[in-house]
Structure 1
């Protein structure tokens, strides 16, 4: 059990101060080697993962990953290098590599650190660190409990792809030569289960999972297993449908991918590269006027929360869309300079993006849709980021008279993202909190469903 002892002997809380000191040493070393400015990002992740399949232990894995990303600037030239080795020799060599790359790259007027006055001055405690202390034996037992609950749910459950229990904790740090050094501890724990059901010759698979910063906030293992089985069995008896133009309802766990396409289109890099179907769309109506999309980075204990971005800027609550109108792009320091506007403290992405729900449950949305397709799985990646053309394989359930009639598989849904955004009819209040993008189910007025 040497691996176990090694993994659990590394406490991120103990390491945090040492890593902060190491970041300062790296910045000093970069200056010594001729960098005019430098920045360092460090991640430490330790954890345990246990998987079982059909009641037997498949894997028990321990990990301890540590990485240093070092960026050196020589004037307006930039070079980056990384290492997982924190010995003085390795750090010196990695800094030298970054500085040498910087000397040979072309100048970029937008390169460089964020201005010192923009850096986060205080770092609030967002309650992101809750170590679980679960032993490998307990993790295995919990995984077995999860899978057993799935098998007990229905006689149609014939097989399993396994249940997994995972617990991770770590530390993130960012420092730069403008005097910023920020760090925070975080944890994430999860239970997941993938099951297979059979009826005559037809087989279907589906899954369920729960994830949280605090193990006390996880769904019970028995509930995860039962839900995985329930979702799997519900897919049996699936049919194809005739090609038609109908409303499409994206379930909450898939709706985040639709908002993901919106985010990609309004990031600064897509805008300055002119590779977006929402090019130059600031202050334009993109969604119906009852749609608000906003970011809440400081929610305590939530997956997605962060006090500062990858440039060291303090994150803050903001609207990206108000009354359906695009208020702001998603900008890092670099992309903001390219577009000659201010950073939105989104280097590295958004933190807890919400689309404000309307007062509809999933059942209300089905009634509102009346006839159409509820999508619960998406396959393939037929999305054109420049034109917005959207085409993906899908599976789900056919709805008539506001009620689910039968499962549907092997169909393609197609439209254009611009039209999908404009024709967003309703947003469910069944918010999926497991993702960084938090949304309920989304009802789109009309898409092409290609079946037979």
Structure 2
């Protein structure tokens, strides 16, 4: 299939040149996806999809346009090339558009070294269904669980091939297998639910369905009897399951697109302290068996390890070629793209420095406050950093969890929140974002 994708991108580039494009890049993606849902011991939903998608970006002078299709016939390729060039001619000039210089392109393009694809055969639908049944049964076996809302198993694989008129050509193959379970305790207005799941590139690394179902059930039982917490200003501990959202807000704020638009709360933060001095945020694009890994970005530039934040200091933006040119800097090889849009900057694998304490130790240290295990809705002002989200979890008194809570709001400003964080040591290191539980020194909690 990889050879077929290469032929598709070559045909797209040839058609673009034939129709008058000065430069072009092309992407072809083929994928298979299988999903199975089980409920009450019976198969509730089964879906399988397969397809090939192609995308073409053409550059005419300083104008660009993108066209995509899921039809890969020769006549379709010619048609989208004609349309792309015609669209580009009527587009406004973009002084920052352009492909990478040939001398800067990645030379190592053998993505097999990253182990992003499991060569094991695709699991049969019956095997995925059995996984979901086992997870559901394990959840229902725990006293107090009244039903399982869903037990879902899935598998996916895809191949991506990129090519450009500057001479770049490269591709990679990815796979993933996942299983999740949502359990419910109680009935009516006293109903509570929670979940657990696992997703891996290599199927042999997966947790057992029994472990996943049990974890989902335990998380749910712990929420029984939830009520509103106190209102006031308290420490807030973000559980590892949702702590990566805090890092996500930081990554969004240092994205070159937001910086170029002037719409980031960190637009003037380069070289300034944004985290405690003992913490760093590092991008590691070459980690094996990790979903965000890649040897080259969507513009063919070689990826490399870099410090986004070092010892608390913001070191740089996340850039593709266009945002780098606009900001007068050099691309950090973070271009990402799909078939229907031009490249835009996005991070790969990111890790926050882990702490020395366990989550339980941080709970003891926080005294009185809120342990957040679930976030609901979002009101984040990307320009000012103002933060407000619905939350649920557990109330902590004198360093001990006392009761589950729900229907509350936590609020603060990301400037202040991130400068006071204390990480635990419980991050799951196989994830693309390796972020432990995070204690924020002070937030406003609106509860009872």
Which residue of structure 1 lines up, in the alignment, with residue 432 of structure 2? 436
Partners of 2:23 and 2:77 in 1: CA distance:
16
Of 137, 141, 150, the match for 1:152: 141
> Could you tell me which residue of structure 2 aligns to residue 45 of structure 1?
31
Question: What is the TM-score of this pair, normalised by structure 2?
Answer: 0.95
Map of 2:125 onto structure 1:
136
Structure 1 position 199, deviation (Å): 6.4
Give me the whole-angstrom Cα distance separating, in 2, the residues matched to 1:31 and 1:215.
43
In the alignment, which residue of structure 1 is the partner of 2:62?
Answer: 76
- Residue equivalent to 1:352: 349
How far residue 22 of structure 1 moved from its aligned partner, in angstroms, is: 1.5
Choose from 199, 207, 212 the match for 1:219.
Answer: 207
The answer on whether the counterparts of 2:146 and 2:187 sit within 8 Å (CA) in structure 1 is: no
Distance 1:99 1:200, change over 3 A: closer
Alpha-carbon displacement from aligned partner over 1:385-422 (angstroms, at most 9, x marks no partner): 00110011000001122221110100000000101011
d(CA) in 2 for partners of 1:436, 1:347:
17
Matches within 5 A, 1:238-253: 238-253=226-241
Is 1:368 equivalent to 2:365 in the alignment? yes
Q: Aligned equivalents of 2:428 and 2:232: distance in 1?
A: 29
Compute the displacement of 1:136 (Å).
1.1
1:106-145 aligned within 5 A = 106-124=92-110, 125-130=113-118, 131-145=120-134
Secondary structure, counterpart of 1:291 in structure 2: coil
Distance 1:434 1:209, change over 3 A: farther
- What is aligned with 2:399? 402
Q: Counterpart of 2:340? A: none
In the alignment, which residue of structure 2 is the partner of 1:11? none
Counterpart check, 1:276 vs 2:276:
no
The alpha-carbon deviation at position 80 of structure 1 amounts to 0.6
Could you tell me which residue of structure 2 aligns to residue 12 of structure 1? none
Shift of 1:436: 2.6
Structure 2 residue 289 is matched with structure 1 residue 301: yes
Take 2:188 and 2:225, find their aligned partners in 1: how far apart are those partners? 10
Q: How far off its partner does 1:65 sit?
A: 2.8
- In the alignment, structure 1 segments of 5+ residues that lack a partner are 1-14
Deviations 1:126-160 (Å, cap 9, x if unpaired)? 11110442111111111101100000022x11122
Deviations 1:50-106 (CA, angstroms, capped at 9, x unpaired): 110010101111111321121000011101110011100111111111111111111
Question: Conserved in 2, the CA contact under 8 Å of 1:211 and 1:434?
Answer: no
Residues 434 and 63 of structure 1, relative CA distance in 2, 3 Å threshold: farther
TM-score, reference length from structure 1 = 0.94
For the residues of structure 1 that align with 2:57 and 2:361, how far apart are their CA atoms?
51
Q: How far did 1:434 drift?
A: 6.0
Determine if contact 1:253/1:432 at 8 Å carries over to the other structure: no
Cα separation, 1, equivalents of 2:229 and 2:115: 48
Aligned to 2:301: 313
Q: Is the CA contact (8 Å cut-off) linking 1:70 and 1:95 kept in structure 2?
A: yes
1:199–1:236 Cα contact (<8 Å) kept: no
Distance (Å, rounded) in 2 between the aligned partners of 1:444 and 1:40:
44
CA offset digits 1:175-210 (Å, max 9, x no partner): 110000110111010011111110685001111100
Q: Is 1:333 the equivalent of 2:356?
A: no
Moved segments of 4+, more than 2 Å: 432-436
Cα distance in 2 for residues equivalent to 1:145 and 1:110: 54
2:249 maps to 261
The answer on 1:102 being equivalent to 2:91 is no
Q: State whether residues 106 and 300 of structure 2, in contact with CA within 8 Å, keep that contact through their aligned partners in structure 1.
A: yes
Distance of 1:433 and 1:159 partners within structure 2: 32
Equivalent position to 1:285, from 253, 273, 276: 273
1:134 alignment partner, SS class: coil
Count of aligned positions: 436
Ranges in structure 2 where 5+ consecutive residues have no aligned partner: 337-345
